[in-house]
Amino acid sequence: MDWADIDSVRAEWPRAELEPSRDLQQWQRAVAIYEARDDYSSMMQCATMLGNALAHSLYGTGILRGSDLPETAHKVLYCSLCPPPDGQTFADSAQRAARLALTVIRENGWRPPSMGGTEGYFEALIMDRGNRMLLSSAIGPADAPWSGDLRAFFEVPPQPMVGELPPHGQPAGEVVARIAETLRQAEDGDQGSTLYADAMARHAAGDPHGALELYGQAGRLGSVEAMAAAGDLASDLGRTEESDFWYETAASAGHTVSMFNTGAAAYRRQDLATAMQWFQRSAEAGNVEGYAALTQLSSEAGDERSEAYWARLGAEAGHTFCMGRHGLLLAREADGDVPTLRRARDVVEQAADRGDIQAATLAVDLNHQLSDAPRAQRFVTMVVQNGDAEANDRLRRFGYL
């Protein structure tokens, strides 16, 4: 089987077995499981459930929008590589999921730099030595899996689909299922939802100004999602004051992403107190990006105590930037204390494994402080393969290269 041929992967995920509404619901459940658990059984379950949603992208636009597409590809790949209980078996279902994720990555032009591409989002996960060997075997012939060639796989010209790569190391997914819920409500005759559905159709048809008018009408009838969509579209159209109005209206109605956007608008106006309030409300409502913003604002204000507090909460919530910052602040606080250095090392390694190259350079330094040069070498390799000039220069200056 030639796994570089998209039709071979489609045969593993046949269109006839995909059902948008069901797969979107399973995707929601799988994301919740992924965030809450990391045991092998749960990861294999997530690989399949997330994979069903991701597989729609093999046949066109798919059901995942914006940053949800690359984030889901990353999750599927991560789940498929979860170490098995026996430490050896690479299950058929895991290989199938890995091939799907790799294909979506390639078809969207997200080839890692080490494979001749320019996008770093998937670099650390794919180029980890153990992961690379497993992924190579997944795309290799059944009778000679060791001969799989990832570089050749990624050199196959993509057939572009859709998807916006999230900021490197800072995933910020959309809750796609709300669209399905809106459509369901529209079918039931809810006027605001009907207008919202009409606005989405108008937007898709290439009429953003008409769509904005309909989003506004739906928002005035109480559709919170329409308020947020109006804020997004007004921002895209350069209508900043209108965008800020809709974001704050949606935020006041409990929309967590709009809370963050309202904080960003306040920050743009240099109203830092209001920005902090909205970022905090967003974080406490479940948007981890709020913790990152609070961490950064505290840093800019020179308030290291507040910075440490928000970085720790963000790290505990799984935000990569916050993990790196929390580890850095722990390392500063350690003053040679070995248990604290170990805690810092463990946190920054998690951030590095999620693609934070600055955390990878810090992981090298901390492991050397802990006299664990072999452990440091994995992160030296990660930095070198990433190609970040500043990070590589730092390693040279400290004698690690």
Residues 183 and 241 both lie in one domain: yes
Q: What is the pLDDT of residues 244-283, one digit of tens each?
A: 999 999 999 889 999 999 999 999 999 999 999 999 999 9
Q: Measured between alpha carbons, how far is 78 from 135 in angstroms, rounded to an integer? A: 11
Residue with tokens 């490197």: 168
Q: What is the pTM of this model?
A: 0.54
Q: How far apart are the first and last CA of the chain?
A: 41
Instruction: Select from 154, 184, 199 the last residue of a domain.
Output: 154
Task: Give ∠ CA 390-392-393 in degrees, rounded to 5.
Answer: 65
Q: What was the pLDDT predicted at 21?
A: 77
Q: Measured between alpha carbons, how far is 60 from 84 in angstroms, rounded to an integer? A: 33
**Tokens describing residue 354:** 């999620």
Residue with tokens 């080490």: 114
Residue with tokens 């309030």: 277
Residues 221 and 244 both lie in one domain: yes
Q: Residues 47, 79: contact at Cβ < 8 Å?
A: yes
> Is residue 163 domain-resident?
no
Rounded average pLDDT over 326-355: 91
Q: Measured between alpha carbons, how far is 81 from 13 in angstroms, rounded to an integer? A: 19
Residues 44 and 29 both lie in one domain: yes
Residues 204 and 282 both lie in one domain: no
State which residues form the domain around 195.
Answer: 176-253
**Tokens describing residue 258:** 């709009």
Q: Report H helices in 269-399.
A: 272-284, 289-300, 304-316, 320-334, 338-353, 357-369, 373-386, 389-397
**Average pLDDT over the chain, rounded to whole?**
86
Return all residues near 50 (Cβ < 8 A) that are at least 6 apart: 27, 30, 31, 34, 72, 75, 76, 79, 97
Q: What is the pLDDT of residues 110-121, one digit of tens each?
A: 888 888 888 788
Rounded average pLDDT over 275-297: 94
Residues in the chain: 401
Instruction: Select from 95, 119, 154 the last residue of a domain.
Output: 154
Q: Measured between alpha carbons, how far is 105 from 154 in angstroms, rounded to an integer? A: 9
Burial of 9 (0-12, 13-18, 19+ CB in 10 A): buried
The count of structural domains within the chain is 4
